Structure 1
Amino acid sequence: MMEDFYCDEVLNGKTQVKRVLETENVLAYYHTRPYWPIHIVAIPKRHIPSLITLEESDNDLLLELFGVIKKAATMVTEEHGACRVLTNLGDYQDSKHLHWHIVSGEKIR
């Protein structure tokens, strides 16, 4: 299994994605293999392994990331009535790159 799908594939352009929102340091796009009917992933463009590895020097990036997550969550909630925002840690985190899922609907797989 790939260690960092986001750096290795998405940010390098090897895997094309449908962008939802983008800032200088953050990208949000529709998941390439969704687990929910609406499934957006938000990632920092700089490699950060996980939520628990964030440093104090990452605070500005984290604020930018949460701004994008908030906008995506607002869009999904307005269109679909509800959403979940989640991240995984440890063994639950397949790709070792900080990422957040903004999802809506019943899990499809």
Structure 2
Amino acid sequence: MALPDRYTGDDFYCDVAIPSAAQLDVVHDDELVLAYHHTRPFWATHLVVVPKRHIDSFTSVTECDEADVRQLFAVVQRLAREVTEREGAAAVLTNLGRYQDSKHLHVHVHSGPQRDHT
């Protein structure tokens, strides 16, 4: 399955990224979490970390999500540390509500200047 040029659904991660991980520039892949270089980066360094099991968002996490979220944040922590060591700074971001384009919990680890998307 090739990655689509444009995606119009509401869960890019379940529909495209996780089933097509071989098509991505993956930096971490285990039974619970996938992390990769963003397909359309907004910053010079832009990684996305996502649980493989569907969780709607940060605000919908429940006790049954504990193992997935623990592993998600362990991967985010490691990648943020690596980016900080390499780039001198990193930011960790998740979006909620109308800011969350894909309705699947995901965390961005980024650094450097914003890229122009015009």
Q: TM-score range by the shorter chain?
A: over 0.9
Note closer, same or farther for the CA distance 1:14–1:25 as it changes in structure 2 (3 Å cut): closer
Query: Please, what is the CA RMSD of the aligned residues?
Result: 1.3
Q: 1:55 aligns with which of 39, 62, 71?
A: 62
Q: 1:80 aligns with which of 87, 92, 99?
A: 87
Using the TM superposition, give the Cα deviation of residue 23 of structure 1 relative to its aligned residue in structure 2, in angstroms.
Answer: 2.0
Alignment deviations for residues 69-97 of structure 1 (CA, whole Å, 9 cap, x no partner): 01111110111000000000000000000
What are structure 1's unaligned runs of at least 5 residues? Answer: none
Partner Cα separation in structure 2 for residue 15 and residue 107 of structure 1:
26
Matched, 1:103 2:110: yes
Q: 1:29 aligns with which of 16, 24, 36?
A: 36
Query: What TM-score results when the alignment is normalised by the length of structure 2?
Result: 0.88
Code of the aligned partner of 2:46: H
Matched, 1:90 2:97: yes
Count of residue pairs brought into register by the alignment? 109
Report which structure shows greater RCO (CA 8 Å, sep ≥6). 1
Partner Cα separation in structure 1 for residue 91 and residue 98 of structure 2:
21
What are structure 2's unaligned runs of at least 5 residues? Answer: 1-7
Partner Cα separation in structure 2 for residue 52 and residue 66 of structure 1:
15
Code of the aligned partner of 2:105: L
2:4 — aligned with what? Answer: none
Query: What TM-score results when the alignment is normalised by the length of structure 1?
Result: 0.95
Identity of aligned residues (%): 49
Using the TM superposition, give the Cα deviation of residue 14 of structure 1 relative to its aligned residue in structure 2, in angstroms.
Answer: 7.8
Note closer, same or farther for the CA distance 1:61–1:41 as it changes in structure 2 (3 Å cut): same
